[in-house]
């Protein structure tokens, strides 16, 4: 599994654990559903700004999103 694939999986996990659709997740971050889809398929990775926003909004560390830690 590549790093992009691991990050994609982690992002989808965060979204689904919070019972959000891709559209709802994107709306919280001011991005489109298409952008969320690209993130979740590993075709794109969120910028540092979005990683920080996701971290703060969902109470997880950036290290967790980037699969550097398991918590």
Indicate the domain borders of the chain.
3-65
Q: What is the structure's pLDDT at 71?
A: 62
In this predicted structure, what is the pLDDT of residue 1? 76
What is the chain's mean pLDDT, rounded? 95
Over range 51-59, report the average pLDDT. Answer: 98
CA distances from 66 to 33, 56 (A): 21, 14
Domain 3-65 -> CATH class? mainly alpha
Region 30-36: mean pLDDT is 98
What is this structure's pTM? 0.92
Q: Please list, in sequence order, all residues whose beta carbon lies within 8 angstroms of the beta carbon of residue 9, skipping any fewer than 6 positions away.
A: 1
The 8 Å CB, 24+ separation contacts for 36-44 are 36/11, 39/7, 39/8, 39/11, 40/8, 40/11, 40/12, 40/15, 41/8, 42/2, 42/4, 42/5, 42/7, 42/8
């Amino acid at each position: 599994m590549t790093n992009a694939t691991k990050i994609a999986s982690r992002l989808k996990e965060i979204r689904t654990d919070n019972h959000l659709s891709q559209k709802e997740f994107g709306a919280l971050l001011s991005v489109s559903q298409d952008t969320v889809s690209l993130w979740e398929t590993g075709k794109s990775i969120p910028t540092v700004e979005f990683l920080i926003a996701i971290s703060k909004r969902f109470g997880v560390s950036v290290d967790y999103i980037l699969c550097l830690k398991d918590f």
